[in-house]
Structure 1
Amino acid sequence: MIASRSHRRLILWDIDHTLIETRGLGSELYANAFCTATGTPMVHKAEVTGQTEPSILLATLRLHGIAGDEPHLSRYEKALPAEYDRHRAELAERGQVLPGAQQTLAALARRPELVQSVLTGNLREVARIKLEVFDLDRYVDLEAGAYGDDDTDRPKLVAIAQHRASVKYGTVFGPGNTIVIGDSSHDINTGLRGGAHAVGVAAGGESVEQLLGAGAVVVWPDLTDAAAIEAFLLSSLT
């Protein structure tokens, strides 16, 4: 059970491999945007798991020996959302909502005690498009979230989301009433370092044991047991 003095709880969802999968399309669109931003075909790509989009781009620029971060980053932050916008239909066809994600988000959205948003390394517009394509945006308040274009240091995104949600909902969200939910040890580390509880979902590449070892307070194998997930998230509110 997670102790909290507030009757409200801020739930911050990771997106990729927690709620949805792009099933390879994301990498293709990234390569297109990289070429648009730099004029250079992408041959190498930096590690992406748990990183923000700007930090991935900067590391990928280094791999290609490309200098001049800011002009490339500015162009990239326009090019990538444009790629996703143009490929909405393909994303809907090739990608997928992970098992139980829609049902769990819907169940939690019916609880006024819970404020659902996202904490993701995706650019804000990319996150919005991904969730819109799979009709998940209606369950989360994107204004209360934090995104890769807010800060390259992902743990700092927790405080950004807490501030936005606090201002909007008139509740002080802090370490006691914020939960970050994700599929990787990076997500768990983000939550713990950023000032939140961290919950794992073993729907990506890491096991239940790995996520528990990273410090998750609990790990679900997937999101199919909406009732149990809801009960856990409300356990200290009743």
Structure 2
Amino acid sequence: MELMVLWDIDHTLIENAGVSKEIYAAAFSALVGREPMEPARTEGRTDRLIMRDMFVREGLPVPDWHSIETALAQAGEARLGDLRRRGTALPGVHEVLKAASAQRRWVSSVLTGNIAPNARVKLSAFGLDSLLDLPVGAYGADAELRPQLVAVARERARRLRGVAADVPTVLVGDTPRDVEAALTSGSGVVAVASGIHGPEELAAAGAAEVLPDLSDTKRVLGILESFAGR
């Protein structure tokens, strides 16, 4: 059965060990000339919203998006080494992504709030980029709200891989915003309590399937296969 699986990155596939917030702070500093007074607020939001919020909270005009995106990409590239030293791929991630990529009729990509260059940096730091169909993914520059990214990924899968519009889609992520994006787009969802949100909070957000992590490859693949058959 055909299926499109869209994985979140931070705290679902990798632990970034604070590097993400350093990237936002560095991008802000490059644009403003000083450090932000408060760290970025992330929690599953897109880079467009995260950076805009930083400027609004500081009482500053929001720069044009091209300038912000360029600063973010430069900050992300500069921290690849830090990410490799301090971060890690989460338990079972290599194995489950390899297993998903081996499914002949599946498209396995990402749905992330990160801009595409920084998504690639984070995945390549741990050798995960080759296990995902990244051109099909949806990224933080593509829309402001996470639910809107699902349509972006579906359209790219149709255009680039010939995937039919009605192929089942399932999101895998660690925040209530991942759950919301799935539910409001008619997608399935597998919530993973590997970030700051516990199983009860993810279930309360509407996730019927909640896992502690992705370490049980057989179980994860079985759940994903169940969505393919719906």
Identity %: 37
SS in 1 for 2:35: coil
Q: 1:224, CA displacement in angstroms?
A: 0.6
Structure 1 residues 163-172 or 216-225, which shifts more? 163-172
Distance 1:209 1:159 in 2: 28
Provide the secondary structure at the position in 1 that maps to 2:108: strand
Structure 1 residue aligned with 2:152: 160
Residue 45 (structure 2) pairs with residue 51 (structure 1): yes
Residue 60 (structure 2) aligns with: 66
CA displacement 1:65-102 (0-9 Å, x = unmatched): 101x243x322211121122122122101011011111
Is 2:82 aligned against 1:84? no
CA distance in 2, matches of 1:219, 1:163: 27
Structure 2 unaligned regions, length at least 5: none
Query: Which portions of structure 1, spanning 4 or more consecutive aligned residues, are displaced by more than 6 angstroms?
Result: none
Aligned to 1:102: 94
2: CA distance between counterparts of 1:221 and 1:85? 31
- How far apart, CA to CA, are the structure 2 residues paired with 1:115 and 1:133? 22
- 1:28 counterpart = 2:19: no
Q: CA deviation at 1:236?
A: 5.5
Aligned partner letter, 1:214? A
Deviation readout 1:154-199 (Å, 9 max, x if unpaired): 110000101111222222144x600011001111001111231111
C-alpha contact 1:158 1:195 (8 A) present in aligned 2 = no
TM-score using structure 2 length: 0.94
- Total equivalences in the alignment: 229
Unaligned runs of 5+ in 1: 1-6
Amino acid of the structure 2 residue aligned with 1:97: A
TM-score by length of 1: 0.91
What is the deviation of 1:113? 2.2
SS state at 1:198 partner: strand
Asked whether 1:197 is paired with 2:188, we answer yes
The 5 Å alignment of 1:213-232 reads 213-232=204-223
Question: Which residue pairs with 1:140 in the alignment?
Answer: 132
* Structure 1 vs Structure 2 CA RMSD: 1.5
Aligned partner of residue 34 in structure 2, secondary structure:
coil
The CA deviation string for residues 197-230 of structure 1, in whole angstroms up to 9 with x for no partner, is 1110111111222211111131111101001111
Q: How far apart, in 2, do the equivalents of 1:184 and 1:12 lie? A: 14
CA–CA distance in structure 2, aligned partners of residues 32 and 191 of structure 1: 31
Q: Residue 168 of structure 2 aligns with which residue?
A: 177
User: Secondary structure, in 3 states, of the residue corresponding to 1:234?
Assistant: helix
Could you tell me how far apart the structure 2 residues matched to 1:8 and 1:115 are?
Answer: 8
Q: Deviations over 1:92-142 (max 9, x none)?
A: 010110111111111111111221000010011110111111110111111
Query: Given the alignment, which residue of 117, 128, 138 partners 1:125?
Result: 117
Distance 2:216 2:13 in 1: 14
**Are 1:151 and 2:143 matched, yes or no?**
yes
SS in 2 for 1:18: coil
